[in-house]
Amino acid sequence: MSGTPKCREAILEIKPYVPGKPIEEVQRELGIQDVIKMASNENPLGPSPDAVLALREAVERVHLYPDGNCYYLKEALAARYGVSAENIIIGNGTDEILKLLAEAYINPGDEIVVADPTFSEYEFAAQVMAGRAVKVPCQNFRHDLKAMAAAITPRTRLVFVCNPNNPTGTIVSQKEVASFLDKVPPEVIVVFDEAYSEYVTAEDYPDTLAYIKEGRPNVIVLHTFSKIYGLAGLRVGYGLAAPEIIRAVNRVREPFNVNLLAQVAALAALKDEFHVAKSQEVNARGKEFLYGAFSALGLKFVPTEANFIFVDVGRDSREIFQKLLRKGVIVRTGDIFGYPNYLRITIGTRRQNERLIQSLKEILAGD
C-alpha cells in the first residue's frame, strides 16, 4: 500500500476560523491572573440569574438525551414572535444553521453574496460545500445592498446580510432592505443575520419578521442566545423562515443537535426581560463612555448599533493587541477583516471600559 488518504479538495481553500483568545490561554501564556475579555462580543453581565438557576436544576438530567425537536423552546419563540413552530429551527448556535443552509442549498460551483468585511462564517459555510463567496465591498462601513443585488447571478443561492454588521456595527435601514428584496430573484434565499439586533436603537431598523409573517418564501432571519442573553458557552441560536426552508434545513440537521442544558437555559433566559433591559442599559452607557474616550485620544471609530466598536488605532493593530494582552486586556485585531489598523472592541462594564482606556492611553503614550 502507498499514499495517504486525501481530503476533499474544496476544503483546502478554507481558512480555519480563529476565535478570540480565551482568558485561560492568556493566563497560561503570560502568567497574568487578572484578565478581561473584550474580544468576542459576549455579554459582560453574564447570563440571566434565572438561566443559571434553571441550569442547576437541570444538570442532574444530563444522562438523558435532549428533546430533538426543542419543543418547549420552539413554542416559546413562536409565542414571542407570533409565528408557528413550523417557522422555527433551533441550532447549535447560529453558526450551525449557517452550515445547514449551505448543506441544504449549495452545490459545487454555486455562489453566495456577502459584504466585505462581514462575518467570516458565511464564506466558510459555502466553501465546505465547494461553493464560492462573491464579496461586495462595504460603503462607509455599511452593506452596499444595491451592489449586492447587482452581484446576484444564476449561480447565486444565498445572500447574507449581517445586520448589525460584524465587525463594523453598522445597519441597513428598512427602506434599503425593502428596495433590495424587490431586486432579489425568488429562487435566491436572503439570510438576515440579526445576532446583535437586541442592542439596536435606530428607529429605521428593518422589521424582517414581517417578511416571515407575510409568507415570503426566500427569507430567513437568524437570532442567537450567545450575545445579549449571555449564553455563548452553551451554543444555541435559531432561525425564522417559511416552513419550506425549515423543512429543507431539517433534512441535514443532526438529531439532538441542541443539548439539554442549552434548551433549558435559553427558555429561562427568554423569559427574563429585566436582564435584557439591564444589558441594553449597560451597553448604551458603555458606548457613550467609549465614544468620548476614543475621541479624547484622537481615535476615529465607526458609530455602532451593536455591543462592540470598530476603532482605528492609527497603527498596526497586532502590535496594540499584543501590548494590551500584556496588560490583561483581550480585544480583536482588524487585520482579519482587512483593516490592519483597526481593533474591534466589545463594550464592557464601566470598570472594564475604564481599564481598556487606561491601558490604551499608556500604550499610545509609549508606555
Residue 338 belongs to a domain with what CATH number?
A: 3.90.1150.10
DSSP-derived pairing of the beta strands 332-333 and 342-346:
antiparallel
Number of domains in the chain: 2
Q: Which domain holds residue 170?
A: 62-271
Q: Is residue 56 part of a domain?
A: no
- The whole-number pLDDT of residue 367 equals 60
Question: Is the model more confident about 61 or about 28?
Answer: 61
Q: What is the CATH number of the domain that holds 217?
A: 3.40.640.10
Question: If you average pLDDT over every residue of the chain, what do you get?
Answer: 96
**pLDDT reading at 181 higher than 60:** yes
Q: Which of 216, 247, 271 is the last residue of a domain?
A: 271
Give the neighbor-by-neighbor strand order of the sheet with 300-302. Answer: 300-302, 308-312, 342-346, 332-333
Residues 265, 279: one domain? no
Q: Which residues of 283-315 are buried (b: 16+ CB within 10 A; e: fewer)?
A: beebbebbeebbeeeebebbebbbbbbbbbbee
Residues 81, 208: one domain? yes
DSSP-derived pairing of the beta strands 237-241 and 219-224:
antiparallel
Half-sphere exposure of 304 (CA within 13 A, CB side): 31
Give the number of other Cβ atoms within 10 Å of residue 5's Cβ. Answer: 4
* Grid coordinates given for 174: 428598512
- The whole-number pLDDT of residue 343 equals 98
Residues 208, 84: one domain? yes
**pLDDT reading at 286 higher than 90:** yes
Residues 255, 287: one domain? no
Is there a contact between 329 and 356 (Cβ–Cβ < 8 Å)? Answer: yes
